[in-house]
Amino acid sequence: MTAELVRGQNHPLSQARLEIRVAAGTPIVAGATLSDEHGKVHGAEWVAHPGAPTLPGLEVSRQAAADHRLAVDLGAVPEAVHRVSVLLALPSPAGAAPPRFGAVPAPFLVVTDLDGTEIASYTITGLDAESAVVALELYRRQGAWKVRAIGQGYAGGLAELLGDQGLDAAHQLASGINEAVAQGLARSVPAPPRPTDTDRPRQPAAPALGGDQGGPAPQATTGVAAPHPAPPYGNQPPGALNQPASPYDAQGVPGAGAPQPPTSPYGTHNGPAAGAPSDGAQGTAAAAAPTDGSAARGQGSAGVGGPIDYSHPRRRSAAPPPAPTAPPARPGQPALPVAGDATGWSMDERLYNQVWGMFEDLARTAAAYRSAVDFADSRMEKELDQVLSDPRSRIGGQGDAAREAARAKHAQLVEQATAALERDLTQLTAEAEVVEPALPPAYARWDNPVWHGYRVPTEVPMALRLGDLRLPEAAELRIPMLVRLPLERGLWIDSGQAGTLDDSFADSHDLRRLAMETAVAHAARLLAVYPAGEFTVHVIDPAGSAAQALSPLVRTGVLAAPPALGAAGVADVLGRLTERVDLVQMAVRAGAADSLPPDLDTAEQLLIVNDFPHGFDDRAVTRLRYLADEGPAVGVHLMMVADREEAAGYGPLLDPLWRSLLRITPVPDDHLADPWVGHAWTYEPSLVPNGSQVLQQVLQQVATARTKYT
């Protein structure tokens, strides 16, 4: 629970290590003063400001910025210090009118712990002509620290503020601070000029995205950081990379080895809040940008008679962060494609939708081409028939001329159709080239570098890539085949020879080995994209014939148990999984999920069956069918590696089984149809490149994470 402080209100602090985030919507200077029990600042060395950003237990930014993150370690503050005052000031550019807080959005501060959990927040309202303000103070009270909202403004600026704190050389220090700020601004990236200054309070919160980068003028942060798709806190100042990122490292304070703030999943140089997409990030207007950044701004302008914003100052509106948008196209050319250019609540979902959009576009583009060519063919045929049946065509060259004309019409239409196809394929290929490298592991090919940076995820992704799909018109253009997770249907990896495109796999032994390798690659991918311990794989290998293919799974120890051998093994595994399905079904029907036995594995289950029907008696086949029918609803999935011909002995009994599974092949095969126009697509499984160790490395990580988990 965040305490929303009003002026004068205090709140206890249980942690010593804190972060104070400031969001102002316009570049401001943040600093802090240390004072003794009488409230006196002992000298310039007790003031942290852009010119001298670190003090024991305290660090402020070197620059003026719309957002600040002040690191505070109250345990490291000298004993004599009884109060830490956080101050904010508007930079005063030389020659310009003196700045006033009444003309800018109301500054918003939030005190958080190192995980980004908010402790207390405060919006400074009611300022007008002031250009410096004591925002908060942290103070000792009976051995513990508390935070109090102050909001005391000074029309005389920093000099007056510092003087009020008992500092003798206040004027001198204030001008020193302004100089340091001016230097900091000079170092930072220049921003594009803004049209007018008057409309600034109504601008969307773009300055917040600019973050700590600052700008040459108070209104100049817009667009500085715009190239990234707006990570809420992806705004470490350029200078911060070569300066100690936190006071703890710099000061060698005890506890420097304590757990570091969680790193952001996106690998930016963010602090604690960056990795927390949850409530922790809501604290500042910056996090709420751009949808809600107007809130703080509305309050600010309310002070000068502007429109009142009735929205909750910190409540993020429901809209997800905006999707990256394509840069505007040059006239006459299609827009450049961008990864994630689709709707969705997360990048995961956007990429999923984009891939499906590409799939549909390719299907329809090919349909347009094929129907045009078919039409051209049939029209030419008809016209040639007419020529043949027309008695006049026998006279002189008339028949030849008519035939020639029909062929020319055909050629022209086919040429037009080809041009339209080429145009669409170029666009889709360009899109695939940006989308493919941006895919997360669950959607990526095994040769994508993203797998080398693999970490065990904490959330189940939306979908899984089973392989690639392509059409003969565009052999180079591969569409990722994504299926939703949890799996809705089991998989049947066909080890039979029927229908394979390539005769080089005539050797059925090879094909079987490949089928099992495909199964292992898919199973490994499933294990990898589920969080630790949330996916369990069982293997039935009655004759032990797949030992070599299974070795990556067996060696890394990610299987629930060694592959089951022989008829007894088959019966045992099937029995246990059937029991699980029964139990979960009963519990769900009775509405008593709590009453499941505590040792029941709640993870999703995958059963790989090799060499079906070897080792299966009638009873086992019945159980398998039961699992295929009832399993998916309760998280038990089948992956059959089988040649349908071999199971033909069971007759039509097994037809429903095959139909309930999604058939995929270990070698390219054109048996999959799209849902829109029903083209036959060539499917190619996602296999690990030859000689690559990525599968082993990934499974090793899965195994390690699982040990930690249990």
Which chain residues interact with another protein by CB under 8 A?
360-361, 363-365, 367-369, 371-372, 375-376, 379, 413, 416-417, 420, 424, 676-677
Q: How many residues does the chain have?
A: 710
Whether the CB-CB separation of 357 and 342 falls below 8 Å is answered with yes
Least Å from the CB of residue 475 to another protein: 21
DSSP H helices in 165-308: 170-187, 206-210, 247-251, 285-288, 294-302
- Least separation in angstroms between CB 696 and another protein: 43
What sign has the CA pseudo-torsion 549, 551, 556, 561? Answer: positive
Closer to another protein by CB, 305 or 675: give it: 675
Largest CA distance in the chain: 119
Q: How far is CA 194 from CA 200, 218, 252, 296, in A?
A: 9, 11, 43, 21
Cα dihedral 126, 129, 132, 138, rounded to 10, equals -20
- The verdict on whether omega for the bond into residue 472 sits within 30 degrees of 0, i.e. cis, is no
Cβ proximity to another protein: between 65 and 355 the closer is: 355
Task: State how far the Cα of 35 lies from the Cα of 16, in Å rounded to an integer.
Answer: 17
Q: Which is nearer to another protein, 60 or 362 (CB)?
A: 362
CA distance 189 to 581: 61
Shortest Cβ distance from residue 359 to another protein (Å)?
A: 12
The residue (of 195 and 675) whose beta carbon lies closer to another protein is 675
Encode 521-534: b = buried (16+ Cβ within 10 Å), e = exposed.
bbbbbbbbbbebbb
Decide if 19 contacts 109 (C-beta within 8 A).
Answer: no
Q: N- to C-terminal Cα distance for the chain?
A: 31
* Closer to another protein by Cβ: residue 7 or 379: 379
* Residue 638 · residue 661 · CB < 8 Å: yes
Whole-angstrom Cα Rg for the chain = 34
Question: Least distance (Å) from another protein to the CB of residue 375?
Answer: 4
User: Closest Cα to residue 207, out of 50, 67, 19, 353?
Assistant: 67
Closest approach, Cβ 308 to another protein, in A, equals 32
Of 323 and 367, CB closest to another protein = 367
Question: Is the Cβ of residue 328 or residue 591 nearer to another protein in the bound state?
Answer: 328
Closest CA to 438 of 367, 336, 347, 376: 347
Nearer to another protein, 341 or 674 (CB): 674
> Which residue intervals of 252-306 are DSSP H helices?
285-288, 294-302
Q: Which is nearer to another protein, 368 or 662 (CB)?
A: 368
> Following DSSP, what letter does each residue of 266-327 receive, concatenated?
T--S--GGGG--SGGGGGSHHHHTTTSTHHHHHHHHHTTT-PPP-S-TTPPPSPPPPPP-PP
Task: CB nearer to another protein: give 414 or 560.
Answer: 414
Comparing CB distances to another protein, the nearer of 424 and 541 is: 424
Which residue number, 146 or 370, has a Cβ lying nearer to another protein?
370
As measured in angstroms, the least distance from the Cβ of 369 to another protein is 7
**Helix, coil or strand: residue 10:** strand
Contact 501, 668 (CB under 8 A): yes
Going from the C-alpha of 504 to that of each of 237, 497, 500, the distances in angstroms are 58, 11, 10
The span from the CA of 346 to the CA of 562, in Å, is 38
161: nearest Cα among 136, 126, 131 = 131
The CA-atom distances, in angstroms, between 68 and each of 28, 216, 406, 570, 625 are 9, 17, 74, 62, 61
Beta bridge partners of 141: 144
d(CA 393, CA 399): 4
Measured from the CB atom, is 409 or 478 closer to another protein? Answer: 409
Please say which residue, 108 or 359, places its beta carbon nearer to another protein: 359
Task: In whole angstroms, give the CA distance from residue 449 to residue 369.
Answer: 35
- The whole-angstrom separation of Cα 162 and Cα 158 is 6
Q: What are phi and psi of 649, to 5 degrees?
A: -60, -25
Nearer to another protein by Cβ, of 420 and 485: the residue is 420
